[in-house]
Amino acid sequence: MNAADVWMLFIGLSFAAYIVLDGYDLGIGVLTLLQRDDRRRREMYELVARAWDGSESWIVLLAVALWGGLPLAYGIALPSLYVPLILMLVSLIWRGFSIEIIAQYRGWQRRWGLAFGIGSLVAAFCQGAAFGGLIAGVTVHGSTFAGGPFSFLHHGYAVLTGLGAIVLYLFAASAWVYDRTEGELQRWAARGGRVLTLLLAAATVACWALLQPAGTTRLDPGSAARLAVWVPGAVVLAGGLAHAYRSFGRHPDAGPVRGALAVYAGGLILVLGLMYPSVVPPSITVHAAASPTGSLTFLLIGVGLSMPAILAYNAYAYWAFRGKLTTTDEEVAGTSVDPAGRRVAAR
Amino acid sequence: MSQQTLVDLSQWQWAITAGFHIVFPSLTVGTSIFLVVCYAAFMRTGTEVYLRLFRLWRRIFAIGFGLGVVSGIVLTFEFGLNWGGFAHDVGPILGVIIGMEVVTGFFLEAGFLGLLIYGDGRISQRVMLFSACMVSLGTVASVTWILAANSWMQTPAGYTLVHGQFLPRDWVQVILNPSFGWRVAHMLVGVLVSAAFFVSGISAWYLVKGRHLDVGRRGLSIGIGAAAILVPVQMYLGDTVAVDAIAPYQAPKLEATEGNWTSTNTGWNLLLWPDQSAARNDWTVTVPWLGSAIAKDWSGRTPTPGLLQTPAPLRPMILPTFYGFRLMFFAAMAMLATAMAGVILRLRRRLDVTRWFHRCVLVLTPAGPLAIIAGWVLAETGRQPWLVYGRLPTADAVSPLDTWQVLTSLALLILVYALLLGTYIWYVARVVRQGPEDRPVPEPVRAPVAPVPRALGAGRRI
Ligand code: HDD
Ligand code: HEM
Ligand code: HEM
C-alpha cells in the first residue's frame, strides 16, 4: 500500500458518495416522469431541491481527485468518454436549473418539471454509459487516448450499463421516497420498489456476464486474493437486494434505504476488485497514473483536515431537514405556507 | 479538418463556458456578503426592512448560485475532456489546487446553502446568520484558490519539469506565485464592485418606478456607499496588476493591450482595428501625449513598446486583448463617475430623489460582470500562445478528439446556455417586479424545532 493506493481508495469513496447521494436525486427525477399526480410530483421535487447542490459537489470532488491524484488517467479517460460525458454535463446543468426554477417559482411547474425529469433521465443514462465504456476497456497509445468517438460503446455494452444505471437510481429513489414520505406516494414507491429490485438484480447479472465478451477487460480472477474480494462483494450485494425487497411496504420505513446502501457497498467492492490495480482498464494502472508523492501528500493532508468538517456540516444539514415530508391540499390548490407555518393566499 | 481547427474550436468552447460561468460568481460572491450584512443588521436593529431586503435578495441569489454550480462542473470536466494533454501535464499542480478549492470552498458553500435558502422556520436566527457567513466564506475561498491556479499558469513558479510533466517542488512558491497576490485582490474587489452595482441598479429601479421605496433607498444607499470606496481601490489594484504582476513577466501581453506595433507611439490608443497577419493597424484613434503620461513621463516623449518586439509566433492577438482592456477601463470610469456623483448627492441629501442619477445607476446594473469578462479576455488571450506561460504551448495540450465532436458539443452548449441565460434574466426581472414580500414578517424561531413540513417556503406563486 502506498500513497497511490490510499488515493485510489479515496477516489472509490468519493465515487460511492456521489452515486449514493446524487443517485437518489437523479432517480427521483426519473420517477417524477412516471408519476401523474401533480401533488405527489411536488413532494418529490421538494426532496431533491434542498439537497441536489450538495450532492453534486461530490462529482466535482470525484473529478478533481482523479485529476490531481491520477492525471494520466484523467487525461485519457475523459477524452475517451467525450460523448456521454458532455451529454451528462448538459443534462446536469439542465436539471439543476430546472429544479431551482421549480423551487423558486411555482407558475411553471409543469413545463420545468418535464425538463427536470428528462434531464435526470439522460444524465443517469450517460453516467452508466460512461462507466460501462470505462470498465470495458479504453484503447490507449502511449499516454493518450487512441480510440474513436464511439469506441466507448463496446458493441452496445455501454447502452446496457446506461440502462442499468437508470434502474439502480430508480431503485435507490424508491427506497428514499419510501423512507421520506407517507400516504399514497409512499405506497406507490413500495409497489414500484419491489419491481425495481428484481429488475436491478437482473441488470447486475447481465452487466457482469457480458463484460468480458463485449470489452477488452478480462474477468480473470487471477489470484485467490481477487476471489476473496469478489465473493463477499457479491454476498453483500445480494443480501442488500433481498433486504430491500422484503422491506418495501413494511416497517421500519428505513429498511429499503439500508438495503440500497448494502447494494451500493457490495457493488463498489465488486468494481474495485475488478479494476484494481488498473484505473483505466486494461492497461493504465493506478501506480503508473499517479501524481508524485509530493502532490498526493498535500492532497491527503488537505482532504484529511477538511473531511471531518465537511461530514459534520453535511450531517447537520440532513438533520435539520429530517423527518417526513407532508403536504396539505391547499397548497396544491395554489396556496403556500409561509416559513412560520401560516398559510398565505396565492395571488 | 486540421489540428488548428480542433484547437480553435476547443478554445472557443472553453472561452464561452468560462465566460458564462464567471458571470454568476461575479454576482453571487458579493450578493452573499450583502445577505450577511442585511441579516446581521436585522438581528441587531430588528428593523423589518432589512429582513425584507434579505428575503428579496436571497431569491435572486439562489438561482444565480445554482447556475454558478452547474456551469462550474462543466469547466472542471473540460480540463480533461478537451485539454487532456494539459490535464496530464499540470495535474500534479493544478489538479491539487482545485482539489483544495473543492474541499475548502465548494463543500462549505454547498453544505450551508440549503440552510440559508430553505432554513426559515427550521433553524434559529443565529444559525441562519452563521450559514450565510459560511456560504460567503466558501465563495471567497473558491475565488482565492482558482486565482492561485490561474496565476500559476500566468507566472509559473516552484515546479520542476520531468518528462513534460510539472511536478511541485515548493508548494509555497506554487501558490504564492509572483502574480497571485495582486491578481486575487483585483478579482475579489472586482466581484464586490459588481455586486454593489447589481444591488444598486435593481434598487434604483424601484426608485424610478416609485415602488417599494424603503427597500429601494436602503439598497441604493448600501450599494453606492460600497462602490464609492471599492471602485477607486479597484482602479489602483488594476494599475498595480499591470505594473507589478504583468509587466515584468509578460511583456507581449502589455504590448498587445496598448495596441501598438512599432515602439514609437507616445499617445494612447482609444480605438483601432488591427490586421494581425500584416502586423499593422488598419486605423487608430489616438489621444496624443497620454501614453507617455501613463508611463509617468509628463514631457510626452516616452513611446509605448510595440508588439513588433515580440517574434511573430509568440504574439498574442491584439483585437481581444486591446478591447478587453478598453471595455474594462471604460466600465471602471463610468462606475467611478457614478459612485462619486452618488457621494456628492448623498452629502447634499439628494440621493433618494435625484431621478437622473437613478437612471444612470440602473443602466450600470450589468457593468460589473461585463468588466470582469472583459478583464478575463484580456488576461487569457494575452497569455496566448501559452497555456503555462513560457512552458506549455496551448496547441500541444488539446485532446485527440474528432473536430465534429467538439463542434457538436460547442453548438449544444451555446444553445443550452443561451436558453438558461435568457430564462435567468427573465426570472430576475420577474422577482424584482414582484418586489419584496409585503406580508407581515413572521417571527423566526429561536431554536431548532420539530420538522416543519414545507421545504420550499421560499417558492411563491408569481
Ligand atoms: C469590476 C471589475 C473590474 C474593474 C472595474 C477593473 N478590472 Fe481589471 N480585471 C478584472 C476586473 C476589473 C478581473 C475580471 O477581475 C481581472 C481578469 C483577470 C484577473 O485576475 O482580474 C482583471 C484583469 C486586469 C488586468 C490583467 C491581469 C492579467 O493579465 O492577469 C489588468 C492589467 C487590469 N485588470 C487592469 C485594470 C485597470 C487599470 C482598471 C481600471 C482602470 C481595471 N483593471 C478595472
Ligand atoms: C472565469 C473566468 C475566465 C474566463 C472568462 C476565461 C477566458 C478564457 C479565454 C477567452 C480563453 C481563450 C484564449 C484564446 O483562445 O486566445 C481561455 C483560455 C484558457 N483558460 Fe481561461 N478564462 C477564465 C478563467 C480561467 C481559469 C481560472 C483557468 C484555470 C484555472 C483557466 C484556464 C484556461 C485554459 C486551460 C485555457 C486554454 C484553453 C484555451 O486557450 O482556450 N481559465 N480562457
Ligand atoms: C476566475 C475564475 C473563477 C472564479 C472567480 C470562480 C469562482 C467561483 C465561485 C465563487 C463559485 C461558487 C458558486 C457561485 O457563487 O456561483 C464557483 C463555483 C464553481 N466553480 Fe468557479 N470560478 C472561476 C473559474 C472556475 C474554473 C476555471 C473552474 C474549473 C475548474 C471552476 C469550477 C467551479 C465549480 C465546479 C463550481 C461549483 C462549486 C459547487 O459545487 O458549489 N470555476 N466558482
Chain mean position to CA B301: 36
Contact B416 A94 (CB under 8 A): yes
Mean pLDDT of chain B, nearest integer: 85
Q: Whose CA is nearest to atom 32 of ligand 2?
A: B150
Cα A28 to averaged position of ligand 3 atoms, centre (Å): 27
pLDDT at A10 over 50: yes
Residues of B in contact with A89 (CB under 8 A): 73-74, 77
* Residue B27 pLDDT: 93
The residue-averaged pLDDT of A65-77 equals 86
Q: Report CB contact under 8 Å: B96, A295.
A: yes
Q: CB of B320 closer than 6 A to ligand 1? A: no
| B411 close to A (CB below 8 A) | no
- In this prediction, residue B408 carries a pLDDT of 92
For residue A308 the three cell numbers come to 471531518
Neighbours of A295 (CB within 10 A): 24
Tell if the CB–CB gap between A71 and B430 is shorter than 8 Å: no
- DSSP string for B219-287: HHHHHHHHHHHHHHHHHHHHHHIIIIIITTT-HHHHHHHHT-SSTT--SEEEEEEEETTTTEEEEEEEE
Mind telling me how many Å the CA of B33 is from chain A's nearest CA? 20
Do the chains contact at A303 and B103, CB–CB below 8 Å?
yes
Q: What is the mean pLDDT of residues B295-317?
A: 80
Q: Which of B104, B122, B453 lies at the smallest CB-CB distance from A306?
A: B104
Which of A143-157, B72-86, B419-433 bottoms out in mean pLDDT, i.e. has the lowest?
Answer: A143-157
Contact B208, B358 (CB under 8 A): yes
3-state SS class at B388: strand
B450 in contact with A, Cβ within 8 Å? yes
For residue range A181-230, list pLDDT tens digits in order: 888 888 888 888 889 998 988 888 888 877 777 766 666 656 677 778 88
pLDDT tens-place string over residues B171-215: 888 999 999 999 999 999 999 999 999 999 999 998 888 888 888
Confidence category of residue B133, pLDDT binned at 50, 70, 90: very high
CB contact under 8 Å between B444 and A339, yes or no, is yes
Model pLDDT, residue A331:
38
Distance in angstroms between the alpha carbons of the first and the last residue of chain B: 50
Put simply, the answer to whether A314 touches B444 (Cβ < 8 Å) is no
Cα B194 to middle of ligand 2, angstroms: 20
For residue range B83-103, list pLDDT tens digits in order: 988 888 898 899 889 988 988
Average pLDDT for residues B363-382, to the nearest whole number? 93
Q: Is B328 in the pocket of ligand 1 (CB under 6 A)?
A: yes
| pLDDT reading at B446 higher than 70 | no
What is the CB neighbour count within 10 angstroms for residue B1? Answer: 10
Which residue in chain A has the smallest CA separation from B110? A54
Average confidence (pLDDT) over A46-61: 82
- Report the predicted TM-score, pTM, of the whole model to 2 decimal places: 0.87
Q: Is B403 on the interface with A (CB under 8 A)?
A: no
Does any CB of chain A come closer than 8 Å to the CB of residue B350?
Answer: no
CA of A296 to the centre of ligand 3 (A): 23
The 10s digit of each residue's pLDDT in B282-304 is 888 887 777 777 777 777 777 78
Query: How close is the Cα of B58 to the center of ligand 2, in Å?
Result: 30
Distance CA A176, CA A24 (A): 7
Q: Look at residues B63, B129, B102, B318 and name the one whose alpha carbon lies nearest to residue A100.
A: B63
Task: Evaluate if residue A110 carries a pLDDT over 80.
Answer: no
Query: Measured in angstroms, how far is the CA atom of residue A240 from the centroid of ligand 2?
Result: 46
How confident is the model at residue B247, as a pLDDT?
Answer: 84
Average pLDDT over residues A243-247: 87
Chain A hits for B66, Cβ within 8 Å: 53, 96-97, 99-100
Pairing of strands B280-287, B268-275: antiparallel
Compute the nearest-CA separation of B358 from chain A (Å): 28
Of A49, A298, A313, the CB nearest to B455: A49
Residue B456 pLDDT: 42
User: For chain A, where are the E strands, in sequence order?
Assistant: 140-141, 144-145, 278-280, 284-285, 336-337, 343-344
Given ligand 3 and candidates B146, B151, B152, B372, which is best to mutate, with the most ligand atoms within 8 Å of its CB? B146
Residue B454 has pLDDT above 60, yes or no: no
Calculate how far, in angstroms, residue B238's C-alpha sits from the geometric centre of ligand 1. Answer: 5
In chain A, % of residues over pLDDT 90? 16
pLDDT at A218: 66
Q: Ligand 1: which of B241, B244, B250 to mutate, judged by most atoms within 8 Å of the beta carbon?
A: B241
Q: What are the start-end ranges of the E strands in A76-209?
A: 140-141, 144-145
Section A28-35 average pLDDT: 87
Atom of ligand 3 nearest to the CA of A57: 40
**What count of CB pairs under 8 Å joins A to B?**
307
Within 10 angstroms of residue A283's Cβ, the number of other Cβ atoms is 14
The complex's ipTM works out to 0.85
pLDDT score, position B75: 93
- Reference B95, options A7, A53, A306; nearest CA is A7
Atom 2 of ligand 1, residue of closest alpha carbon: B190
Q: Ligand 1: which of B186, B323, B370 to mutate, judged by most atoms within 8 Å of the beta carbon?
A: B186
Alpha-carbon span B259 to B321, nearest angstrom: 8
Interchain CB distance below 8 Å, B80 and A75? yes
> Is residue B161 within a helix (H) or strand (E), and if so which, with residue range?
strand B159-162
Q: Taking residues B445-461, what's their average pLDDT?
A: 39
What's the confidence (pLDDT) of residue A247?
85
Least CB-CB distance to B73: which of A75, A89, A347?
A89
Q: Which distant-in-sequence residues (6+ apart) come within 8 Å of A24 by Cβ? A: A169, A172, A173, A175, A176
Compute the distance between CA of residue B83 and CA of residue B7 in angstroms, rounded to an integer. Answer: 10
Q: Which residues contact A304 (CB under 8 A, 6 or more apart)?
A: none
By percentage, how much of chain B surpasses pLDDT 70? 94
Please report the pLDDT score of residue B200 as a whole number.
Answer: 93
Mutate which of B319, B380, B406 for ligand 2 pocket (most atoms within 8 A of beta carbon): B380
Q: Which residue in chain A has the smallest CA separation from B414?
A: A90
Q: How confident is the model at residue B248 (pLDDT cuts 50, 70, 90)?
A: confident
In the predicted model, is pLDDT for residue B5 greater than 90? no
pLDDT for residue A323: 66
Grid cell digits, residue B330: 471604460
Q: Is the pLDDT of residue A120 over 70?
A: yes
* Separation between Cα atoms, residue B384 and residue B310, nearest integer Å: 12
With b for 16 or more beta-carbon neighbours within 10 A and e for fewer, the B282-302 pattern comes to eebebeebbbbbeeeeeeeee
* Cell numbers describing residue A10: 479515496
% of chain A beyond a pLDDT of 70 = 88
pLDDT band at B450 (very low <50, low <70, confident <90, very high): very low
B272 Cα–ligand 1 center, Å: 20
Closest residue of chain A to B459, computed from CA coordinates: A104
Contact B268, B291 (CB under 8 A): yes
Q: Would you say residue B363 has pLDDT above 70? A: yes
Does A107 sit within 8 Å of B461, measured CB to CB? yes
Interface contact A57-B76, CB threshold 8 A? no
> Residue B147: its pLDDT value, please?
95
pLDDT at residue A225, as a whole number? 73
Q: Does B119 touch chain A (CB under 8 A)?
A: yes
Residue B279 C-alpha cell reads as 502586423
Stretch A266-275: mean pLDDT, rounded?
86
The closest CB to that of A336, out of B122, B424, B460, belongs to B460
Which one of A25-29, B188-192, B437-441 scores highest in mean pLDDT?
B188-192
For the Cβ of B23 lying below 6 angstroms from any atom of ligand 1, the answer is no
For residues A233 and A224, the model is more confident at A233
Give me the mean pLDDT over the B420-431 stretch.
88
Per-residue pLDDT tens for B25-46? 999 999 999 999 999 999 888 8
| Helices B213-240 and B180-209, axial angle in degrees (round to 10) | 150
Say if ligand 3 is within 6 A of residue B146 CB: yes
By the 8 A CB rule, do A63 and A22 touch? no
Nearest to A342 among B427, B442, B455 (CB): B442
A219 three-class SS: coil
Cα separation, B280 vs B275, in Å, equals: 6
Q: Is B28 in the pocket of ligand 3 (CB under 6 A)?
A: yes
Q: Which ligand is nearest to the CA of B153?
A: 2
| Residue B267 pLDDT greater than 70, yes or no | yes
pLDDT, mean of residues B382-397: 83
C-alpha B257: how far from chain center: 19
- Exposed, middle or buried: residue A250 (CB in 10 Å: 0-12, 13-18, 19+)? exposed
Q: Which of A329-333, A339-343, B238-242 has the highest mean pLDDT?
A: B238-242
For ligand 2, the distance from its centroid to the CA atom of residue A74, given in whole angstroms, is 19
**Residue B19 CA to ligand 2 centre (angstroms):** 8
